[in-house]
């Protein structure tokens, strides 16, 4: 019990010191909280994005992949996902899998 009474003021003092030492950095006039960050520019041409989608298709499920006649999907093939591979054998959307 005595060690708690001895250590408690030290812990409180350490926490106060940590808070006070961080405060001047936040008040630095060179750092502005109102600064607007440059965002990544949006693509001007959507045709480029659509071409990328053809190279790397995304299928929500095997029904979607089958509707585009791209089944079965092999591991490493565009459109393959471990989520579509029910038994984990590297072959997704096999016949009979949904």
Q: Say how far apart CA 81 and CA 31 lie, in whole Å.
A: 44
Inter-residue contact 73 to 92 (CB < 8 Å): yes
Q: Is 78 helix (H, G, I), strand (E, B) or coil?
A: coil
Inter-residue contact 28 to 22 (CB < 8 Å): no
Beta bridge partners of 92: 73
pLDDT in tens, the chain (98 residues): 566 567 677 667 776 666 666 555 555 556 555 555 555 555 554 444 444 455 678 889 999 988 987 789 999 999 999 999 989 999 999 887 55
Tell me, yes or no, if the pTM score tops 0.85: no
Burial class (CB within 10 angstroms; exposed 0-12, middle 13-18, buried 19+) of 97 = middle
Task: Give backbone dihedrals phi and psi of 47, rounded to 5 degrees, phi first.
Answer: -65, -35
């Amino acid at each position: 019990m005595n060690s708690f009474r001895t250590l408690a003021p030290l812990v409180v003092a350490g926490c106060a010191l940590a808070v006070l030492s961080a405060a001047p950095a936040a008040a630095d006039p060179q750092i502005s909280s109102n600064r607007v960050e440059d965002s990544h520019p949006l693509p001007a041409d959507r045709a480029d994005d659509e071409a990328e989608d053809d190279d790397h298709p995304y299928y929500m499920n095997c029904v979607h992949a089958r509707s585009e006649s791209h089944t079965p999907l092999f591991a490493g093939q565009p459109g393959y996902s471990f989520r579509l591979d029910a038994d984990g054998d590297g072959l997704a959307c096999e016949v009979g899998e949904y």
